[in-house]
Chain A
């Protein structure tokens, strides 16, 4: 196994670059990061639409989110792959196709996370902001969203982990992400498929496990910071939180 790592680690990391397009683990990370960064604003807009008081906005967005969440990601990728060129008139490359599919898919899931974050806040927050005289949008912007987004951070990190896993489906349209590269290595080496795929698994594991531990740490830190202004007993709340961590 070590021999394989020794021979192919550069290819595994960056694909054929600089003799070809970027590939491998770096491409996986790049795709996942761009995907999430672009999906997040869209997800917030969709999430806001889902909780808005206007039916003409809520229903179409709910329908969209429902359809996207009811389809496999592979289906979304195929739609993007086969129909984007005819819609845009340009032959989109695999990276862009995959990126667009990821953004649409993740935005639908993020919309639900945002919706849950907003609805998880005590109702009094929005009411108080309105009672002060702030408009619906200002109240959202200054009071509700800052709190909702902060409480969503662990979910966002977990969504990033999911996105990294989702990039593996680029394999199907020939995108040179890390799973595709592993299969290429396998066809060259030929006699050690188990080891190669174990290395692939190990790579994903280190990356995703590390990130999900980070999300876990974030969640505990947020709980300790007391994100809710729970009335009355700050000291008792802190000791209660600490003993909850111990059990």
Chain B
């Protein structure tokens, strides 16, 4: 569904992505992990052109997304993006947050949009908060609404950029459960996350990055138990026992 060919990206003189070649297939659940500054967020943001690239091609459903004449807004509406900071629109109610895009971009009537939004809110467990304001919700609740908002456009692909990193620990679980539910329905997902438990249970594939390069690709089982690349091994051991290096 998404194909990256020889993608390179620079911020000034700093190279953030180095020669990336990846393919994400329909129905796959891919987790991207790695240390801070490895380029994993940058990578996922290039998929819907939130970040520009300097060389290479990115194909979404077979189309080059940087081809001149491409309607950026059209293909963005077919990719659901969930941000680390949730970014709900505070001047709209929870329901309005979820109905705005379908009404504006897909031409749904208010009734149709409301129905779809309520069904999605029910699915993420927040139907009773439909008329609440975002500022009245906890972080975990806001993120679940953000997921419902993205799903309201019925995208074939969902992207998650560290969706639980800004949450207090007790709220992480409720969001991960919603995400796991999505995978059970066959949604294609690419997820940048530190939540290794989620990766082990749900992912089809793990991509490990450092310094802008993809260093290892493996099934979760292979990655967590038999990491090949020394940097990956170090990363995993740092996560498991942060004080081990000091001993």
Determine the main DSSP class of B at the interface with A: loop
Interface string of A223-236 (1 = CB under 8 A from B): 00111111111100
Residues of the B chain whose Cβ atoms lie less than 8 Å from the Cβ of A125:
87, 89
- Compute how far the CA of A234 lies from the CA of B132 in the bound complex, rounded to whole angstroms: 12
A72 within 8 A of B: no
A229/B101 in contact, CB under 8 A: no
- Compute how far the CA of A36 lies from the CA of B150 in the bound complex, rounded to whole angstroms: 40
A53 within 8 A of B: no
Residues of the B chain whose Cβ atoms lie less than 8 Å from the Cβ of A134:
73, 101, 104-105
A131-B48, A131-B76 known; A147+B90 contact, CB < 8 A: yes
Residues of the B chain whose Cβ atoms lie less than 8 Å from the Cβ of A239:
none
B87/A128 in contact, CB under 8 A: yes
A231-B139, A232-B138, A234-B135 known; A130+B87 contact, CB < 8 A: no
Residues of the B chain whose Cβ atoms lie less than 8 Å from the Cβ of A233:
138-139
B177 within 8 A of A: no
Q: Output the nearest chain B residue to A233 by Cβ-Cβ distance.
A: B138
List the one stretch of A13-21, A58-66, A135-143 in contact with chain B.
Answer: A135-143
Q: How far is the CB of A86 from chain B (nearest CB, A)?
A: 46
* Residues 129-181 (chain B) with a chain A CB within 8 angstroms: 133-139, 142, 149-150, 153, 166-168
B77/A132 in contact, CB under 8 A: yes
A128/B91 in contact, CB under 8 A: no
List the one stretch of B24-32, B52-60, B78-86, B226-234 in contact with chain A.
Answer: B78-86
Residues of the B chain whose Cβ atoms lie less than 8 Å from the Cβ of A229:
86, 88-90, 133-135, 137, 142
Residues of the A chain whose Cβ atoms lie less than 8 Å from the Cβ of B142:
229, 231
Determine the main DSSP class of A at the interface with B: helix
B50 within 8 A of A: yes
A133/B91 in contact, CB under 8 A: no
- Compute how far the CA of A143 lies from the CA of B168 in the bound complex, rounded to whole angstroms: 27
Q: How many residues of B contact A (CB 8 A)?
A: 35
* Residues 121-168 (chain A) with a chain B CB within 8 angstroms: 122, 124-125, 127-135, 138, 142-143, 146-147, 150
Residues of the B chain whose Cβ atoms lie less than 8 Å from the Cβ of A131:
48, 50, 76, 79, 81, 83
B74 within 8 A of A: yes
- Compute how far the CA of A45 lies from the CA of B245 in the bound complex, rounded to whole angstroms: 58
Q: How far is the CB of A136 from chain B (nearest CB, A)?
A: 9
- Compute how far the CA of A231 lies from the CA of B137 in the bound complex, rounded to whole angstroms: 8
B100 within 8 A of A: yes
Residues of the B chain whose Cβ atoms lie less than 8 Å from the Cβ of A127:
50, 83, 87
Residues of the A chain whose Cβ atoms lie less than 8 Å from the Cβ of B138:
232-234
Q: Output the nearest chain B residue to A129 by Cβ-Cβ distance.
A: B89
A226/B135 in contact, CB under 8 A: yes
Residues of the B chain whose Cβ atoms lie less than 8 Å from the Cβ of A142:
100, 104
Name B83's contact: one of A124, A135, A237 (CB within 8 Å).
A124
- Compute how far the CA of A125 lies from the CA of B166 in the bound complex, rounded to whole angstroms: 16
B76/A130 in contact, CB under 8 A: yes
A124-B85, A231-B86, A232-B168 known; A132+B135 contact, CB < 8 A: no
**A-to-B contact residues, CB < 8 Å:** 122, 124-125, 127-135, 138, 142-143, 146-147, 150, 225-234, 237
22 A-B pairs (CB sep. < 8 Å):
A124-B87, A125-B87, A127-B50, A127-B83, A131-B50, A132-B76, A132-B100, A132-B149, A133-B105, A133-B153, A135-B73, A142-B100, A146-B91, A147-B89, A226-B135, A227-B135, A229-B135, A231-B85, A231-B86, A232-B138, A234-B135, A234-B136
**Smallest CB-CB A-B distances: 5 pairs:** A133-B77, A229-B134, A226-B135, A128-B87, A124-B87
